[in-house]
Amino acid sequence: MKNKTGKTHIIVVGNEKGGSGKSTSAMHIIISLLEREYRVAVIDLDSRQKSLARYIENRKSYADQHNLKLTMPEVHVPERAKDDTMEAMKHHDEVTFAALLDDLQNRSDYILIDCPGSDSHLSRLAHASADTLITPVNDSFVDIDLLARVNPDSYKVEKLSLYSEMVWEARKVRAMKDRGVIDWIVMRNRTSALDARNKRRVHEVLTSLQKRVAFRYIPGFGERVIYRELFPKGLTLVDFGTGSSEKMTMSHVAARQEIRRLMDELHLPGWNRAAVVAAE
Ligand SMILES: Nc1ncnc2c1ncn2[C@@H]1O[C@H](COP(=O)(O)OP(=O)(O)OP(=O)(O)O)[C@@H](O)[C@H]1O
Ligand SMILES: [Mg+2]
């Protein structure tokens, strides 16, 4: 394996806010990693919606139907525990999740875990095993509210809220388990050029919050129709111009640049070295 970095790196995409762009971002990160020939295993923890697993199934069908060679990760969707008591269910989740990670670590460079838009025990276990945690947030104070309470007049951060506290707990669990550190990245998603004032305010709040909560805040993706259109075909913008027959527009070029910038800013182990290898 030419890009093997040593230890398997676990990327978790999470946010308790539904619809913030977790699965879409996850899919673009997965295909970016596969493009550089990393071995990627995917765990979709949203066993109800299975959006990410379905996105990848669509990719397989589309590739088969059109005779395309598209990169494909291996995908796992752990079933929810059905034991009688809450304690038994938690125990079941812990045992099966640990066994799955153990198994995948033997044959993957990266494991990407997509979490549901709500709290669950499995999601907490995933957060506590993350090396990199990516939280997409939309440009709205409704999304920011899950990270911190903001003063309505001054827009100053008053206190941490639900999701930040959950990540705080996950960091403690992770530190006790193996002294590991979670690199938490908050990425803005669906930013629009139309609402400059709101955009600036969200930027200011996230800038002040990043010091307080210890995350890195990065720009992420703009609002683009194309992100919504790709799901049925299972394609990503990373595929454009390679195997697929999709035509590139200016908006697609800009979107591809956003994805490349995101990948660079994640600071994943071996990523820059892989760029050099790919260029050779
Ligand atoms: N940058 C973007 N521009 C336009 N549409 C987007 C963008 N990112 C995501 N979307 C759309 O927003 C919707 C929600 O995205 P997605 O399913 O990725 O969110 P999610 O956080 O995984 O949701 P859930 O919490 O339900 O799992 C989808 O219809 C998706 O196509
Ligand atoms: Mg999702």
pTM: 0.94
Query: If you search the block for the tokens 């020939």, which residue do you land on?
Result: 37
Which-ligand-closest: CA of 21?
1
| Burial label, 84 (beta-carbon count in 10 A; 0-12, 13-18, 19+) | exposed
For the segment 41-73, what is each residue's pLDDT rounded down to a tens digit?
A: 999 999 999 999 999 999 999 999 999 999 999
What span, in angstroms and rounded, lies between the C-alpha atoms of 236 and 168?
32
122 CA → ligand 2 middle, Å: 15
CB environment 103-139: b (16+ within 10 A), e (fewer) = ebeeebbbbbbbbbbeebbbbbbbbbbbbbbbbbbbb
Q: Could you give all domains of the chain from N- to C-terminal order, each with its CATH number?
A: 9-273 (3.40.50.300)
Phi, psi of 269 (to 5 degrees): -60, 130
- Do residues 12 and 81 touch, judged by C-beta distance below 8 A? no
Ligand 1, pocket-test mutation among 16, 24, 261, most atoms within 8 A of CB? 24
Pocket of ligand 1 (CB under 6 A): 18-24, 46, 49, 51, 116-117, 189-190, 221, 223-224, 227-228
208 CA → ligand 1 middle, Å: 26
Nearest atom, ligand 1, residue 25 CA: 18
For the segment 237-256, what is each residue's pLDDT rounded down to a tens digit?
A: 999 865 556 678 888 899 99
Closest residue by CA, ligand 1 atom 30: 228
* Predicted local distance difference test score (pLDDT) of residue 5: 55
Pairing of strands 132-138, 183-189: parallel
- Do residues 14 and 116 touch, judged by C-beta distance below 8 A? no
Q: How confident is the model at residue 2 (pLDDT cuts 50, 70, 90)?
A: very low
- Do residues 191 and 233 touch, judged by C-beta distance below 8 A? no
What span, in angstroms and rounded, lies between the C-alpha atoms of 255 and 137?
17
Which-ligand-closest: CA of 226?
1
| Burial label, 203 (beta-carbon count in 10 A; 0-12, 13-18, 19+) | middle
Mean pLDDT of 209-232: 92
